[in-house]
Structure 1
């Protein structure tokens, strides 16, 4: 038994919610169908017995009594006529004959199909026929006005034959009365059974209702509530809390899948936390390294200024004093040295400017970009006049920004647009500005040689050049400095890859930077030197 019980338990444990519901519905419908069929049978039985009692048993007994009354009327009329000869006594007799025929026909119809009761009716009819033949009809046919001699002659026979009628009627009525009593008892028993059946139906329905609600509570509601409670506990941050698997197989499977997700989430969170800690450490190291590199770049370039200035001064002095006095090769070497020193001076100055962005700046203040742009165009007047460049712009908005850095931004963008023009073509530069949400989007568009899409990111990397120094002069720092300035002010900068008639550089700036940028922590002497150099 123990093994069979365990086997059944294992089998039921694999049932899903749908299967439990189907089984419950099937059992409930079966029980209700059986009870309904029983109830219908009881109701039909009650109706049948009631119909028999009302339409057959009771009317048959009543009709038997009426038949007895009609026969008594006949006997009374015949006896009175025989004794007095008065014709008035024949009236009850004749009415009794009529009523007898009517009641006999009614009884025959009511007792149709009941052979025993029909035999009782036949016995009554036979007894009545004997009495009428021997007594009633001969006396009724006697002349009126005189006493019939037959009333005296056949007095004993008349009493005997009519007593036979009474006995037959009494026997018939006793049986009809017994039949009616049995029908009444059957009706009472059937009604009792009906009451019990409908009580049982009500109790079964109530029990099924309780079982259904209890089954739903235990099989669905309670597991779902437990699952919801576990999920809320996990959602509150207790990710180590396990999911309890209860209920039918599908709900247990769902709980298992959610618990698997929880365990995977715990692993992912642990991995993410570990990765975040590593990234924080790497970010701190990178920030420290960048600060050290910026400090090194500034210090190195600042310390290189003086010896480079001496090298440049003496090579220029050597060129002026001894130019043309040495051979041609010596003059060429001196030119190389002067050009190299000048390029080195430019590179160091650009590197110093690049290192100052985001580290050394003036206080952010409201500035007019058009004013800054006009000053920048004025400072580039020489290159603009030499190239014949045309500089146009849309109305520019006022912003809260670093005045100096905005000037460096315009200078690099416009300077590059003029520098990289097509040979034999007049440079045309247009600066546009349009509102885009909370930002302003600016675009510097030229008709120059353009920038291929594959170099759209490379041009913003420091020291990255797309052309040789002989083709186009420069240090490769300009666009990298523009990127650093724009990002310092909370914006972004990019090359428009869809523009093909030159180059278009777009960047965004807010009306005010999202947060104030502080000068990087560095030795006070170096920071003071940077400010003084600016």
Structure 2
């Protein structure tokens, strides 16, 4: 049975969260440590109290009692010598003994102030000494000096008995003080042993609590998290059918359920996405096949259209040359319409072919110096530039990995448009810039022409979208659409700067390297070669 199963069988504990387990564990540990600390403090206090009593009361009291006995003995020796000889020098020890007696009695009273039995013993000693002094010491000391005292001779036996009482009282007092000191010493030793046991128990309990805490954390948190992590890693490794087993406290089990719910949701989404992917693959295959067929159809159709169109154009031009002026004006007008329509139709077909070839036939990526490409384009457009009197300048342009043919088509369309859409009576001024913009290169082509209104900023890049009639400005309306396709094929974007009002400013970006190489065209080489003469 696992720890989680045992926990789940304990009523009420299965709903406990990690925070609650930690709070309860910390509270219990603090209570146990507080109790042990209280016991330890009491033992330390008890040891200090007994030690102070032994050092500051019992031992000094015994020492003072011995000094008191010595003082009384000095008195007895002095009185006995004075009584037998009458010599005054024997009074000095007696008087010193009295002084030492008073000092010892006062010190003993201070030391034994909290000891009722000790004070009683001290009173017994004091009473015995007082009785001896009144019966023997004082009368003998009051006798005149120079001769033996008759009082000492008469009361020798009585004085001996009185002093024996003093000796007995002093002996009893010292024995009692010695017994008290020994008892205090025994109590101190017992208390020190108890102290050692208590602190050993505290250390053992702290070690046990530490082990319990770490074991509880391991079983209650670390092990469930490791198991949850192992299940999550199994799922992340691709085994999405691997179940997440919730273990541990309530919050960790809830987390496990949530992760397992997420796994099931991902499993459903993956199943759905797999079905979608299979359908998309099938549709992509169909679309690729359809595109290949459309490309083949476009080449064949353009080739088939070019031949009859050339015949129509040739014969209408022959009609115009041979019968021009021989028919009425309306017939000449009709012939002009037919010639113009055939020529425009041929131009549209050629432009469409060029548009379709972008990214398909023109896909030879190599290092391209845009300065040289622009100079070559300006050379090709030199006749139109000279006729318009255009002034074209440019900043240093970078070198990129791109298709050189497409770069030439890009500059040709942008420069020719800037020259074409000039203001009447004003020479075109065109400037090309290039600067680094993050990982891309940002280019601008600025002119002083008629400009493009902001609302037409997107429309001008749609194929065949024209803002002017063909009589005002010639063209098929495919130039900027081709520029857009070329720029996007090279990983960039193109647009009109709406803030510029003194003409038109085309802004586009190009990547230093193309994002990916497009797949080659699926059109057969034979069809492609057959269609080439239609250009």
Structure 2 length normalisation: TM-score? 0.80
Q: Distance in 1 between matches of 2:189 and 2:404?
A: 112
Q: Distance in 1 between matches of 2:159 and 2:364?
A: 152
> Which residue pairs with 1:124 in the alignment?
125
1:377 aligns with 2:381: yes
Partner secondary structure for residue 432 of structure 2: strand
Cα pair 2:392 2:430 within 8 Å, conserved: yes
> Which residue pairs with 2:54 in the alignment?
53
Cα pair 1:434 1:441 within 8 Å, conserved: yes
> Which residue pairs with 1:107 in the alignment?
108
5 and 168 in structure 1: CA distance in 2 versus 1, 3 angstrom threshold = farther
Mean CA deviation greater in 305-314 or 331-340: 331-340
Structure 1 gap segments, 5+ residues each: none
Q: How many angstroms does 1:502 deviate by?
A: 3.0
1:8 aligns with 2:12: yes
Q: How many angstroms does 1:7 deviate by?
A: 3.5
Q: How many angstroms does 1:246 deviate by?
A: 4.3
1:432 aligns with 2:432: yes
Q: Distance in 1 between matches of 2:36 and 2:363?
A: 96
> Which residue pairs with 1:33 in the alignment?
34
1:455 aligns with 2:456: yes
Mean CA deviation greater in 269-278 or 521-530: 269-278
Q: Distance in 2 between matches of 1:435 and 1:64?
A: 110
Q: Distance in 1 between matches of 2:414 and 2:526?
A: 33
Listed one character per residue, the Cα deviations across residues 416-466 of structure 1 (whole Å, up to 9, x for unaligned) are 3444444x4345152524353787655444444333334333333333333
241 and 456 in structure 1: CA distance in 2 versus 1, 3 angstrom threshold = farther
Q: Distance in 2 between matches of 1:119 and 1:434?
A: 116
Q: How many angstroms does 1:43 deviate by?
A: 2.5
> Which residue pairs with 2:163 in the alignment?
162
> Which residue pairs with 1:393 in the alignment?
393
Q: Distance in 1 between matches of 2:524 and 2:102?
A: 144
Q: How many angstroms does 1:305 deviate by?
A: 1.9
1:348 aligns with 2:349: yes
How well do the aligned residues superpose, as a CA RMSD in angstroms?
4.1
Q: How many angstroms does 1:77 deviate by?
A: 4.4
Cα pair 2:295 2:523 within 8 Å, conserved: no
Partner secondary structure for residue 434 of structure 1: strand
> Which residue pairs with 1:210 in the alignment?
211
Q: How many angstroms does 1:302 deviate by?
A: 0.9
Q: Distance in 1 between matches of 2:415 and 2:93?
A: 146
Q: Distance in 2 between matches of 1:342 and 1:3?
A: 91
361 and 115 in structure 1: CA distance in 2 versus 1, 3 angstrom threshold = closer
Mean CA deviation greater in 400-409 or 449-458: 400-409
Structure 1 length normalisation: TM-score? 0.80
Q: Distance in 1 between matches of 2:70 and 2:407?
A: 136
What count of residue pairs does the alignment treat as equivalent?
A: 525
* Counterparts of residues 64-79 of structure 1 (less than 5 Å): 64-79=65-80
Partner secondary structure for residue 465 of structure 1: coil
> Which residue pairs with 1:497 in the alignment?
498
434 and 155 in structure 1: CA distance in 2 versus 1, 3 angstrom threshold = closer
Partner secondary structure for residue 494 of structure 1: strand
Q: How many angstroms does 1:9 deviate by?
A: 0.9
Cα pair 1:434 1:440 within 8 Å, conserved: yes
Q: Distance in 2 between matches of 1:324 and 1:343?
A: 24
> Which residue pairs with 2:3 in the alignment?
none
Cα pair 1:81 1:87 within 8 Å, conserved: yes
Partner secondary structure for residue 12 of structure 2: helix
Cα pair 2:430 2:446 within 8 Å, conserved: yes
59 and 346 in structure 1: CA distance in 2 versus 1, 3 angstrom threshold = closer
379 and 518 in structure 1: CA distance in 2 versus 1, 3 angstrom threshold = farther
279 and 155 in structure 1: CA distance in 2 versus 1, 3 angstrom threshold = same
Partner secondary structure for residue 50 of structure 1: helix
Cα pair 1:42 1:190 within 8 Å, conserved: yes
